[in-house]
Amino acid sequence: MSGATTELNLATAVDGDDNADYLTLNLANSLRTLDALFNNVSGHNHGAAHNGGQIAAGAIANGTITSAMLADGTIVTADIAPNAVSQLIGSYGPTTPTFSSTTTGTWLNTPITVTGAAQGNPVRVYGFLTWSHSASGAAVDVGLAVDGALSVSFARDYAPFAAAAVSVAFDVLITPSVGSHTFTIQIYNYVAGTASVGTVNAFLGITEVKR
Amino acid sequence: MSGIDVGGKIIYLDQLQADLNAGGVPTPNGISIAGPHQDDASPPPLNAPPLWPSGSLLFTYDNQGNPIDLPPEAQAIVDAYTPVTTLSWRERTTAALEAAQTVKDLEDVLVTAFNAADAPR
């Protein structure tokens, strides 16, 4: 009687076999067994004993795994490379800046500033500060400058009384060019007197949004 | 720009600017003081006078808005500057009481308040 292979129990001929029997029965059955392994539904799946070895990473062509092949909700934080989705470019504070000026009619740099490299994606600029003015009713604008030039103005408030602390919080999106930039909070003082930034903590965060 | 170090002085900036202008140092573009950051700074008492931390620098601007140094003669005017409080007797006393750390501080505050020329009688 014929011998048998280890994994699939395929028949192997031995000297005493009848050629016709081996070819028409044993080999034919073995070929059917092999053929069945390539059925697109019930064929071998590399997932259990006698179903072939585990598929090596190199056996799958780069760029061929699609989103549909991933079970929803299975991507966890550890699967995402650091800074792949968003990246902190830099931050200021929370700390108390000290700045006062009598200058009116122009944008003035405050000490609230961050320098860092952008990669051409949208950048989220967020934070808070407190300003005051020596004149009651004085108007002060607050905005963001990139490399010394105003990029966006996002607040205008009026001092309710002299030396009153006026708090401003902001969260804006800009798209600076690729390269290093200096992001600075500026104020614009409309009224004679002293405008100040400080008193309590201020904060500025710059985060690049990549996806 | 190096600025004039005004650290440790109480400065009402609009008063100092008036002194500079009266002393022959025109400041058509205003003046500014930028001080070092104060990490973990506790909020100062309400109505506290503007005491500038060590290392605070005074400067002005050119017509393009760039920070520049004041002329050398400004130094003497800054050194001679004496703040004239804009706070009322009540505001000064309240701020001093909030800042008091010891019984002796409280005693000094009360004596000062009692002897102030603008104290309500």
- The minimum CA-CA distance between A68 and chain B, rounded to whole Å, is 50
Number of A/B CB contacts below 8 angstroms equals 77
DSSP conformational letter for B58: E
Bridge-based pairing state of the strands A3-4 and A11-12: antiparallel
Q: Which of A96, A99, A101 has the CB atom closest to B30's CB atom?
A: A101
Residue of A nearest to B11 (CA): A100
State residue B48's pLDDT score: 79
Nearest CA in chain A to B45: A199
Q: How far apart are CA B121 and CA B118, in angstroms?
A: 9
Which residues of chain A from 28 to 67 reach within 8 Å of chain B, CB to CB?
Answer: none
Q: What is the pLDDT of residue B39?
A: 75
A140 pLDDT higher than 80: yes
| DSSP string covering A11-61 | EE--TTS-HHHIIIIIIHHHHHHHHHTT-TTTS--SSSTTS-PPPPGGGS-
Whether residue A1 is predicted with pLDDT greater than 80 in this model: the reply is no
Average the pLDDT over B26-52 and give the result.
Answer: 85
Whether the CB-CB separation of B30 and A104 falls below 8 Å is answered with yes
pLDDT at A128 over 70: yes
pLDDT at A18: 87
Contact A201 B29 (CB under 8 A): no
pLDDT band at B40 (very low <50, low <70, confident <90, very high): low
Q: Where are the beta strands (DSSP E) in B1-121?
A: 4-5, 31-38, 57-61, 67-68
Half-sphere exposure (CA, 13 Å, Cβ side) for A5?
Answer: 14
Cα–Cα distance between B110 and B96 in angstroms, integer?
9
Determine how β-strand B31-38 pairs with β-strand B57-61.
antiparallel
Who's near A116: CB < 8 A, 6+ residues apart?
A89, A90, A180, A181, A183, A206
Measure in Å the smallest separation between the Cα of B117 and chain A Cα atoms. 23
Closest listed residue to residue A16, CA positions, set A30, A3, A34, A35: A3
Cross-strand pairs, A114: A183
Per-residue pLDDT band at B91 (split at 50, 70, 90)? confident
- Give yes or no for residue B101 having a pLDDT over 80: yes
pLDDT of residue A95: 93
B83 CA to chain A: closest CA distance, Å? 14
**What residues have CB less than 8 Å from A74, skipping those under 6 apart?**
none
Least confident among A115-119, A174-178, B85-89:
B85-89
Q: What percent of chain B has pLDDT over 90?
A: 58
pLDDT in the model for residue A39: 93
| Residues in A touching B61 (Cβ below 8 Å) | 103, 106, 108
Residue-wise pLDDT for A143-173, tens only, equals 999 999 999 999 999 999 888 899 999 999 9
Residue A77 pLDDT greater than 70, yes or no: yes
Q: Which residues of B touch A200 (CB under 8 A)?
A: 41, 43
Q: Tell me the pLDDT tens digit for each residue of A7-23.
A: 889 988 888 888 888 88
Report the residue of chain A nearest B17, measured CA to CA: A102
- Tell me the shortest Cα–Cα distance from A190 to chain B, in angstroms: 12
Q: Phi then psi for A9, rounded to 5 degrees?
A: 60, 40
Per-residue pLDDT, B37: 85
Say whether B67 and A100 touch across the interface (CB within 8 A).
no
Average pLDDT in the B81-110 region? 87
pLDDT of B41 over the 70 cut = no
Indicate yes or no: CB of A101 within 8 angstroms of CB of B39. no
Nearest-Cα residue of chain A relative to residue B60 = A103
Lowest-pLDDT range, A54-68, A159-173, A186-200, B88-102? B88-102
Q: Pick from B13, B41, B44: which is nearest to A100 by CB?
A: B13
Cβ of B47 within 8 Å of Cβ of A163? The answer is yes
Which residue ranges make up each domain of chain A? 3-65, 86-209
Q: Write out the E strands in chain A.
A: 3-4, 11-12, 86-101, 107-118, 123-133, 139-146, 149-158, 166-174, 179-189, 195-197, 202-209
pLDDT at residue A99 above 80? Answer: yes
What tokens were used for A73?
């909700």
Measured in angstroms, the CA of B79 and the nearest CA of chain A are apart by 18
Q: Are B25 and B58 in contact (CB under 8 A)?
A: no
Looking at every residue in chain A, the average pLDDT score rounds to 94
| CATH superfamily of domain region A86-209 | icosahedral virus (2.60.120.660)
Residue A64, SS3 per DSSP: coil
Distance CA B35, CA B58 (A): 9
Q: Is A97 on the interface with B (CB under 8 A)?
A: yes
Is residue A176 over pLDDT 90? yes
Half-sphere exposure of A76 (CA within 13 A, CB side): 1
Answer yes or no: is the ipTM higher than 0.90: no
pLDDT of residue A105: 95
- Domain limits of chain B? 4-80, 87-121
